[in-house]
Structure 1
């Protein structure tokens, strides 16, 4: 029991099972399976969350039917997968957590090219890929319900304590529930009773097939964000109907659907914590005593404790927080929340999955199947000097110190580097918390920090055995402005804090979240902001879930976006652009500010003199090559472990 979080660590009984606390690892796609089979990386990923103290570990969504098969998810619908499923259940259960498999069918939901083999309730296009599914026949729908039940029974035979049926995020059960995507006039469509028949049948058949001791959870939206679809009123009606007819063992409410509301299911750093608590409260009233699990933007144990103590939820499901730190629950139980590695809510994890890569985390360098790997202790005493106090430098220093190295960190300013500047922009609170964590963790790990400008002589005077240069990078001046003193790069501008004015132009040759946070900041200081980019649209290097928010916020602020343009010249208060597709020149008058966010150039001035002095020198982060936070943290860890 935790003194700080007694409700969070109170046990909870559920259908004959005793949960050791109220914390679950929520289903989270990870792309760690291969060929429909479990891999060692997938098993390690699941085991780490169980070993970290979660009471329930829910697998990523697994295909409940053959028509949902995909090679990067374990083929739970197939008897051939039974050994893999048993291995998954065992690595979870051996640490005292309940293994739960999520059952999934995408239907028409697709984020890539239009799927030619998609099935659905009606011939309504998916909101993202515009996939139009083949309409399922009556007999096929009944057979799908049977497949769900058979897959659940297979999981039961493999040692799983239960399943969670996914009827969220635009997947097939939600396509039946929603009057927007279900236009049928037969027994599977029309009024709510018929539209919910597919889901109710699945739940009833699983219960019948697996018996009373098997857990059956349900994930659905309390608001899918699509006009005319599942709003809170409709969600409450669905909840009450299912609770009375085929009650699950818990409802878990995750918002959004395929389309412009997809980002609702993983709100990013611009959203406030616990932003859905009013929805959870309302659904709990409709649930008729069925436990309600809250999910999304529950980062801190204190927030989870508040939810449970107020009666707004019975359980908390954590996905991104347990990816960032699989030992989140254990650290909270030990009354040490300050040692939890905080999630940025940046959705880099989702971005990796969406582009076809295995899951990764911007703050956890071991995510994606390496959690739990121990650091090899240092074989000999060495003094490692890390130059640069940004995220890569801090992580390198921490990793080296944890191996047993003596580490000195040289930082030109307060630890955090250029990321500290970004943390002061809109949505930057999560970044500030992470930088504070890294700084404190460096101190806890025994890193000695010195502030000031590092020179070759100062570094040599420390008599290091190895040096890590994490000195960052500088924004390059746009080609059209070479040899000119006009304008300021975005980082210099932010440090100068301009007073504001009439017209500002931001040249976006970067396409990362920090640029758009700065655009919001500028829009609050200038009467008119033009965002100019050589690409055909903005935010192309931002994960889709967060990119939707970028577009929405900039549109609300009235920011004018000019795609397919390059800078030609800037004279006084006049700026000329060239349209990359037509070659036409455009003139913008009365420009009070020109700034840019451009590809960066690594700062490597210290490399040659240190190598000439015979030192072992490693480059990390932007000093090696400009990169995103995810790569910088991972590289910092790998470098710190190697020196």
Structure 2
């Protein structure tokens, strides 16, 4: 395989302690929710095998708990006894077959406990009894004896992973987890040898690194992941982080530093664990550069590096030695080999929506991708299987569901024509990309458009499909993906008050809205209400009141995306009223009802009302076609209005079975 001229640094080798990486693209540690009873599963092996096969130089696995008190979720991998070794060995063998190296994070969360194991809250441990703001956990201060036991757990866990055939371990001292809690003077108020001075606060991590090195010897990689800036009101000073890195480097026990930003401990800090599209590409690279100048070991960096050219810029500029492209690999595991063989245009670019990757993790489901539902489902949909017989397939509707179905069906050998009534394909994605800070969402359409073109799908736009057209075309099977339209329930409305659908506002902008107070009635509590609220508030001359039918605006969104959008509407001075349903409106008043008490809620001096009340399926054609006798498959919103994730998954499932 020849090295692509466009990315000479990215596809150069890198020595990392006792190993050499084939390239500088790596997948950073991220929970997959693919473990079972603390053990590696076939699903997890298949997931990482796909990324190794796609050309990643290094995979850093998700956290592995090193002590019984490290169970921060109900699905965390554990390395506290030898039963873990066979599973890790299978995984290492699968990854190594593709010249990819494998490292595992070793981990204790301290007070950052996300969930219970059985419904009863555990006793969380930390350097001191200082509460967590995000999960509302009050921990118990660690005794000296338990600190020593945990340090020994890091060492014994690392030794097991070496025995299993991995290439190294990464001590997770980032994102406010236990080692970071010792370092932070706000969370560590001890008065013994582990607290007080910076030297004392560094002691736990230094002892851990030394113990791990002693347990694994010189021919096994030991790294440390660290947050250069915790991005929170009570984080460790960044200058002390740099001093820590210098000290770890001087101690001589570690082979690299993996730099990121953020902390699990607060809402603002946690957003940077998996930053949404509101943040610039590679925005953490300057922090990594500061640390790189202070140490001699290689410095890796993570933080919204989604495209090969972004990674090449970071590396060529000397800001870091390797780039985590984790979500890029979730979205397209073949991204490295495509970049290296000069097929950059074929890369399916991550849009940082966070919905099915970190979003699934927070819901307790195996991670996936809204653009590539095959991710996490490699055992079922790893490779398209050729169709037994080539059929003429008619796909009606050019949104994400229709495009995904068309692409997969064509890849399997069917003759596919996609029909779209509008002038361009894309569906609701074309609306989402118009909202503030959501421009990258349009990539979901761009990537699918490229995919159907490469697959040989014939696309006919500005074509309204009816039953007569279907009879003339005589397809063997029909896939109906006609989407949805805005839903408007029966409301008591006075024609004197202008009323608008959110879709129309997104399409035309806020310019047609009257000046004054605009009320948005938001039933779904997703990106539509929040995005339209910010768009209108920033248009000038309008005060926005967002009335949501839930406990919080954006409550259906992944929390980091929601946090970023909420911050934006707060900054735009949007007023939010929660737990209300729209009842009606007259000349200048909007009438709502509290969903908990049924009491009336009135908003006065209103100039206009915007409805974001969800959608209803557009299924009239489906019902007609079901009378023809030709096999008909309904997918996406025409079955039930949901999100892009379900649309593409429907398309994949149906097209894989034709």
In structure 2, what is the equivalent of residue 22 of structure 1?
24
Number of the residue aligned with 1:631: 646
Distance (Å, rounded) in 2 between the aligned partners of 1:428 and 1:588 = 29
CA drift of 1:71 comes to 5.0
User: Residue 275 in 1 paired to residue 283 in 2?
Assistant: yes
**1:194-593 alignment to 2 at 5 Å?**
194-257=200-263, 258-260=265-267, 261-286=269-294, 288-348=295-355, 349-370=357-378, 373-413=382-422, 414-452=424-462, 453-481=464-492, 487-499=499-511, 500=513, 501-525=515-539, 526-593=541-608
Shift of 1:343: 1.1
Contact in 2 for aligned 1:32/1:42 (Cα 8 Å): yes
d(CA) in 2 for partners of 1:506, 1:52: 45
Q: Give me the whole-angstrom Cα distance separating, in 1, the residues matched to 2:252 and 2:150.
A: 18
| Residues 338 and 437, structure 1, Cα contact 8 Å, conserved in 2 | no
For the residues of structure 1 that align with 2:498 and 2:402, how far apart are their CA atoms? 32
State which drifts further: 123-132 or 180-189: 123-132
Q: For 1:467, what is the secondary structure of its paired residue?
A: strand
**What is the TM-score of this pair, normalised by structure 1?**
0.96
Q: Please tell me the root mean square deviation across aligned C-alpha atoms, in Å.
A: 1.8
> Could you give the per-residue CA deviations for residues 531-587 of structure 1, whole angstroms, max 9, x where no partner exists?
001222211111112121122111111000011222222112322223334444343
Q: Give the distance between the partners of 1:437 and 1:19, measured in 2 at CA.
A: 29
Q: CA contact under 8 A between 1:203 and 1:246: conserved in structure 2?
A: no
Contact 1:110 1:128 in 2 (8 A): no
Aligned partner of 1:599 among 595, 601, 614 = 614
Change (3 A) 1:53 1:408: same
Question: 2: CA distance between counterparts of 1:112 and 1:532?
Answer: 31
Residue from 78, 84, 87 that aligns with 2:87:
84
Residues 186 and 234 in structure 2, CA contact (< 8 A), matched pair in contact too: yes
Residue in 2 aligned with 1:94?
Answer: 97
Checking the alignment, whether the CA contact within 8 Å between 2:530 and 2:566 is kept in structure 1 is no
Partners of 1:60 and 1:220 lie apart in 2 by: 15
Q: Partners of 1:473 and 1:420 in 2: how far apart?
A: 14
Runs of 4 or more above 6 Å deviation: 482-485
Q: Find the residue that maps to 1:265 and give its secondary structure.
A: coil
Specify the SS of the correspondent of 1:468.
strand
The CA deviation string for residues 70-107 of structure 1, in whole angstroms up to 9 with x for no partner, is 65233212111111111121111111111101101111
> Which shows bigger deviation, 611-620 or 443-452?
611-620
The whole-number CA distance in structure 2 between the counterparts of 1:369 and 1:495 is 35
Query: Alpha-carbon deviations, 1:258-287, whole Å to 9, x = none?
Result: 21210112110111111122212212122x
Number of aligned residue pairs: give it. Answer: 642
Per-residue CA deviations over 1:272-306 (Å, capped at 9, x if unaligned) read: 111122212212122x2221111111011000000
Query: What TM-score do the two structures reach when normalised by structure 2?
Result: 0.94
Contact 1:108 1:115 survives alignment (8 Å): no
**Pair 1:498–1:458, CA change in 2 (3 A):** farther
**Aligned-partner Cα distance in 2 for 1:87–1:569:** 61
Looking at structure 1, the residues matched to 30 and 377 of structure 2 have their Cα atoms a distance apart, in angstroms, of 14
Distance 2:510 2:187 in 1: 49
C-alpha distance in 1 between matches for 2:367 and 2:443? 23
Higher mean displacement: 534-543 or 308-317: 534-543
Report the CA distance shift for 1:483/1:450 in structure 2 as closer, same or farther (over 3 A): farther
| 2: CA distance, partners of 1:458 / 1:182 | 71
How far the C-alpha of 1:486 sits from its partner, in A, is 5.6
* SS of structure 1 residue aligned to 2:261: coil
* Cα shift at 1:248: 2.1
Displacement of 1:496 after TM fit? 3.5
Structure 2 unmatched runs, 5+: none
Instruction: Give the secondary-structure state (helix, strand or coil) at the position aligned to 2:292.
Output: helix
Name the counterpart of 1:103.
Answer: 106
Contact 2:402-2:481 at 8 Å conserved across structures: yes
Q: Is the 8 A contact 2:619 2:638 kept in 1?
A: yes
The superposition leaves residues 124-160 of structure 1 with CA deviations (integer Å, 9 ceiling, x where unpaired) of 1122121112221101101111110111011001101
Is contact 2:480–2:633 with CA below 8 Å preserved after alignment? yes
Q: 1:586 to 1:66 in 2, by over 3 A?
A: closer
In the other structure, the counterpart of 2:4 is 2
In structure 2, distance between residues paired with 1:168 and 1:497: 41
Deviation at 1:215, TM superposition (A): 0.5
Which whole-Å CA distance do the structure 2 matches of 1:590 and 1:483 have between them?
14
- Number of the residue aligned with 1:169: 175
User: CA shift at 1:369, angstroms?
Assistant: 4.0
Higher mean displacement: 200-209 or 607-616: 607-616
Structure 1 unmatched ranges of 5 or more: none
Question: What displacement does 1:116 show?
Answer: 2.4
